[in-house]
Chain A
Amino acid sequence: MTAFLEYLVHGLSLGAVYALIALGFVIIFKSTEVVNFAHASLLLAGGYIAVRAQESVGFWAALLAGVAGAATLGALLEWAVIRRYRGADHSVLAIVTIGIDIVLLTELARRIGPDILTYDDPWGDALVTVGSVTVPQTRVAAFVTAALLIGLFLAAFRWTSWGVAMRAAAENRETAALMGIRLGRVSSSAWAVAGALAAVAALFLSVFPTSGLDRATGEVALAAFPAAIIGGLDSTTGALVGGLTVGVTEALTTGYAAELDFLGNGFGHIAPYVVMVLVLLARPAGLFGTRELSRV
């Protein structure tokens, strides 16, 4: 039972971090109709900037720098690449983002090399014990931070003018333009927010019990891809539920790896994709996705 609870807490915490990434994914898709395959490298860039900056300015300022850096990079990509495209077929842009991902990832891998970069985070490897359940402090911090950020984002999405503009543009771009909403600003702000969230996710994917940030950290972010799909690519609620589903699935299947041995080694890594396929079999648009995305 204790083991189960520990796995569950671990899973929820991991899931909250995935939800941060998936949320970025979803808002980019909603506002620009682009599936952003460069998300993993955006995340790695944010993490890299933070880790490099902390030598000179300390952890918290560096974290802010990482967040700001990834947000700027996201907005820059939108401005330099996405906005230039004048065609109508948005799958072309999705393929363009694969190209961006390759370029960014190559450059980051060159800079990081074989090193494992560690954050000077205030939690270290300290543990929290509640009753019989013991979990690392970083997991608690991850869950709390992610929950706060997601709550903040959803509140802004719902109540601010920015949120109204985002939702209007997501529903009908031309009509939003007729209302005087600047679509360029809407999409670059979506990319910036997605970058910022990814940079925070990068922190929690690299701290204890993970050894640190390396060039493969971005790949971990791929787990957020099934999270976004499970929830439905155009639903913010879906991103949260999908993120938690993937996190818990991964933590449980990894935790009970010994019992699941008959499925082969490392089943935990593919379990999210198995869940994704099962969900899509039952609900092709994801759990909360709009059934049919037929915009002509």
Chain B
Amino acid sequence: MTAAVLRVRGLCVDYGPVRALTGVDVEVPDGAVTAVLGANGAGKSTLLRAVSGTLRFHGGAVTEGSVALGEDRLHGVAPARIVAAGVVQVPEGRQVFARMTVADNLRAGALGARGGRAAVRAALKRVHELFPVLAERAHQRAGLLSGGEQQMLAMGRALMAGPRLLLLDEPSLGLSPLMTTRIARTVREINAQGTSVLLVEQNAALALKLASTACVLENGRVALAGDADELAASDEVRRRYLGVADEDAATETGAAVAAGTARPALSRWSA
């Protein structure tokens, strides 16, 4: 077992009186891609916010448990310190700075980095190699880019800080299947260059293909966790998140409904 770069232990998060996460344990092995699956409202984004320290923007707080990057404690720490420690999040819906140029967006991404100018220049070179379109459109306003290009910009911007761990929140959201494939390839490339990735994704098929380990969140708890291959093969995941409704699964669902424990199976589009 390799050492974990990110270790989330017994994490509980409350938004005021509402509990969003209960006793969540997640680990990202060093150099791996870990996927977090789950339906809307299962707590996926909350988990990322807890790691990146942005819960307070949504009136939330960590009430129990811990988040650690190697030896560094991350819970209860300001977002800027978390970025400096090497954890950077690509927010859901891209959130590029639309009124700023592409070049300025990338500059903004480098503001939280620890390294000096040389590190920033190297990071910019790497980003331009990964996404040549960002070099071509450097002086265009980010708001004028297409959805896919904005996703590339959001990822490039996050890489400017030279993170050890990249948090990706729904990178395929609203993108065409073609662009989704491209983003997936880039995630693999970024990972191959040594950055660990925690990937939150509704597109379970895509996520399980990219990840080596995965967990499934349900109502703020970890319902399943393990190797991505095993999860992809498990009936439970196939039925609920991959939209595979084969005979066995159907019978099983029937039996479970009879027992009064199961929720209705979700049919899900998959790339």
How distant is A237 from chain B, measured CB to nearest CB, in Å? 13
Interface pick from B30-38, B79-87, B173-181:
B79-87
A115 interface residue, CB < 8 Å from B? no
- Chain A contact residues: over half helix, strand or loop, or mixed? helix
Separation in Å of the B170 CB from the closest CB of chain A? 14
Q: Which B residues form the contact surface with A (CB < 8 A)? A: 52-54, 57, 59, 78-80, 82-84, 88-89, 91, 95, 97-100, 104, 107-109, 111-113, 157-158, 161
Q: Residues of B contacting A165 with CB < 8 Å?
A: 108, 111
Contacts of B99 in A (CB 8 A): 167, 171
Enumerate 10 A-B pairs (CB-CB under 8 Å) in ascending A order: A164-B104, A168-B97, A168-B100, A173-B57, A175-B95, A178-B89, A179-B108, A179-B112, A181-B108, A182-B78
| A180 CB contact (under 8 Å) in B79, B97, B100, B104 | B79
Chain A residue at smallest Cβ distance from B82: A180
Q: Which residues of B contact A220 (CB under 8 A)?
A: none
- A120 beta carbon closer than 8 Å to chain B: no
Contact A172 B80 (CB under 8 A): no
CA distance A180 to B78 in the complex (A): 9
| Chain A contacts for B112, CB-based, 8 A | 179-181
A178 in contact with B111 (CB, 8 Å): no
Judge whether B108 and A182 touch: CB under 8 Å.
Answer: no
Minimum Cβ distance to chain B for residue A213 (Å): 39
- A178 with B91: in contact, given A167-B99, A171-B100 (CB under 8 Å)? yes
Give the residues in chain A near B83, CB-CB below 8 Å. 178-180
The answer to the question of A275 belonging to the interface, with a C-beta cut-off of 8 Å to chain B, is no
Whether A179 pairs with B111 at a CB distance below 8 angstroms is: yes
Most buried by A among B111, B113, B161: B111
Report chain B residues within 8 Å CB of A182.
78, 80
- Contact status B89-A167, CB under 8 Å: no
CA distance A8 to B191 in the complex (A): 63
> Among A161, A164, A181, which residue has the most Cβ atoms of chain B within 10 A?
A164
Q: Which residues of chain A have C-beta atoms less than 8 A from B104's C-beta?
A: 164, 167
